[in-house]
Amino acid sequence: MKRNLNQILILALLFQSSQVWAWGQRGHELVTLVASRLLQEDPRVDQSFAAACLDKEHLLAHLANTPDTVWRRGNGPNVQANRPTHFVDMEYLDVTEKRGLKKLPQTGKDLISSIRQQCKLNPKNCAEGSNAAEQLSRAGHAPLRIAQLTTIIEQSFRKLKIAKNKSEKLDHFHEAIVAMGLLSHFVGDLGNPLHTSSNYNGQLTGQSGIHSYFETFVVNEYPLDLSHRVFLHAQKQKPYKTRVTAKKRVNSYLDSAWALAWDSHKQLNKLLALDKKHSLVKEAKAMEKPQRKAAKSVGPAYKTFTVAQLATAADTLKELWVQAWLKAGKPSLAGLKSYHFPTEPDFVPVRYLEGVK
């Protein structure tokens, strides 16, 4: 299990520079806006909820980038706690899709147990570390973060439903909207296959540098109709039901998050193959400068794949928003017009890892 010190330093540098980012700012914004538009067509949703989300869609899109912007400043404890919430490397877990979602880690304690069991069974896929914090930081825990934030949305809606006056209702409405925007970020992250694998930057397959190349440079080259294409794909294909949760029994927010992680992870080889076939000029080792074709020239080759992944994330996000609202008792949001626009929301503590050793 011991590795050369230089290899460890290389992986650490790659982790800090690449693994946190997913889709770039355009992608995260797009996932949010498409989810808001999909919500307008959901027959389970009443007009007050749909209208409120449409009115706040640009705030939601702004908030969706907060974990990659505001929460990354400096190097304090919140910055460190934030980093592993953006991904989960499935290879580091003692799990198989055939066991079903109930066998996937349900708590922070379950997660570290799964990581340590994998280290015993398959040392080559071990999330190394001298303690639980280091191992969890290496493996990531995005699904638990998604479940945490969706629960916060539900709780905010529950409080809104029983609030006695408009002022209280607005306070809880603002809480819900902030959590909804933040949730979009982490759902979007898991829509990117590179956020579900220890090969998050192609460094294990001679494709170092693919992370930012795909999620930012390729995506940024697409014309303005990208959002519409993603919306139409989600509208027609309904990927949350037909891909993410197909043949799976989903009973919780966490089940939905793990299902998204599994679905995305299964797409990783397709993405790596696209890179090798269309963009990679010369294979690169971990710290070598990759040689790839200009993103604009290969954009068309990635488009079908990119649209499908963004649409899957957007449809999953919409579903989580709706489920939180339904479970809260379908609170009416009528008359809750406001101009509240929090640009730098506070960091949400990672409570689900408390007490994990």
Q: Checking phi first, is residue 272 left (phi over 0); if not, alpha (psi -120 to 50) or beta?
A: alpha
Please state, in angstroms and as integers, the Cα–Cα distance from residue 228 to each residue in 31, 222, 234, following that order.
11, 12, 10
> Could you tell me how far CA 351 lies from the centroid of its own chain?
18
Count of alpha carbons within 13 Å of 269, Cβ hemisphere only?
A: 2
Q: What is the DSSP string of 304-344?
A: HHHHHHHHHHHHHHHHHHHHHHHHTT----TT-------SS
* Residue whose entry in the numeric block shows the structure tokens 């996937």: 104
Distant-in-sequence, close-in-space partners of 262: CB < 8 Å, separation ≥ 6: 90, 97
Amino acid, single-letter form, for residue 274: L
Q: Tokens representing 225?
A: 């109709």
Distant-in-sequence, close-in-space partners of 163: CB < 8 Å, separation ≥ 6: 169, 171, 172
How far is 243 from 231, CA to CA, in rounded Å?
Answer: 16
* Residue whose entry in the numeric block shows the structure tokens 């992608």: 27
- Indicate the burial class of 248 (C-beta count within 10 angstroms; 0-12, 13-18, 19 or more): middle
How far is 11 from 17, CA to CA, in rounded Å?
Answer: 10
For every one of its 357 residues, what pLDDT tens digit does the chain have, with 9 covering 90 and above? 434 433 433 344 344 444 555 688 999 999 999 999 999 999 999 999 999 999 999 999 999 999 999 999 988 999 999 999 999 999 999 998 778 887 899 999 999 999 999 999 999 999 999 999 999 999 999 999 999 999 999 999 999 999 999 999 999 999 999 999 999 999 999 999 999 999 999 999 999 999 999 999 999 999 999 999 999 999 999 999 999 999 898 999 999 999 999 999 999 999 999 999 999 998 876 667 779 999 999 999 999 999 999 999 999 999 999 999 999 999 999 999 889 999 999 999 999 999 998
Q: Under DSSP, is residue 282 helix (H, G, I), strand (E, B) or coil?
A: strand
Q: Tokens representing 61?
A: 């899109």
